[in-house]
Amino acid sequence: MLSLFFVADLPTTVGSTYQFGGDEAAHAIRVLRTQVGDSLALSSGQGGWSVVKVLTVGKKDMTVQVLSTGFEDKLSVELHVAQALTKGDRIKESIELNTAGGADVILLWAAARSIGKGSPDLMQKLATTAREASKQTRRNRIPFVMGVLDAAKIAAEIPNYDLVIVLHEGAQRKFTEVIKPGSQKVLVIIGPEGGLTDEEVALFAKAGAQVALLGRPIFRSAHAGMAALSGLNAALRIW
Pairing of strands 78-84, 185-190: parallel
Q: What pLDDT is stored for residue 119 in this prediction?
A: 79
Q: DSSP label at 70?
A: E
**147-173: pLDDT as tens digits:** 899 999 999 999 999 999 999 999 999
The confidence band for 107, taking pLDDT boundaries of 50, 70 and 90, is very high
DSSP state of 137: T
- The alpha carbon of residue 160 and the mean position of all alpha carbons in its chain are separated, in whole angstroms, by 20
Q: How much of the chain exceeds pLDDT 70, in percent?
A: 100
- For the residues 106-122, what does the mean pLDDT come to? 88
Predicted local distance difference test score (pLDDT) of residue 116: 72
Q: Is the omega angle on the peptide bond into residue 148 within 30 degrees of 0, that is, cis?
A: yes
Residue 118 clears pLDDT 80, i.e. is over it: no
Residues 6+ apart with CB under 8 A from 194: 113, 114, 115
Tell me whether residue 19 is exposed, middle or buried, using C-beta atoms within 10 angstroms of its C-beta: 0 to 12, 13 to 18, 19 or more. middle
Numbered ranges of CATH 2.40.240.20 in the chain: 4-71
Domain with CATH 3.40.1280.10 in the chain: 78-235
CA 40 to chain centre: 22
For the domain spanning 4-71, the CATH number is: 2.40.240.20
Fold of 78-235: Alpha/beta knot (3.40.1280)
pLDDT in tens, 58-96: 999 999 999 999 999 999 999 999 999 998 789 999 999
Are 77 and 179 a contacting pair, CB within 8 Å?
A: no
Tell me the mean pLDDT in the region 94-112. 97
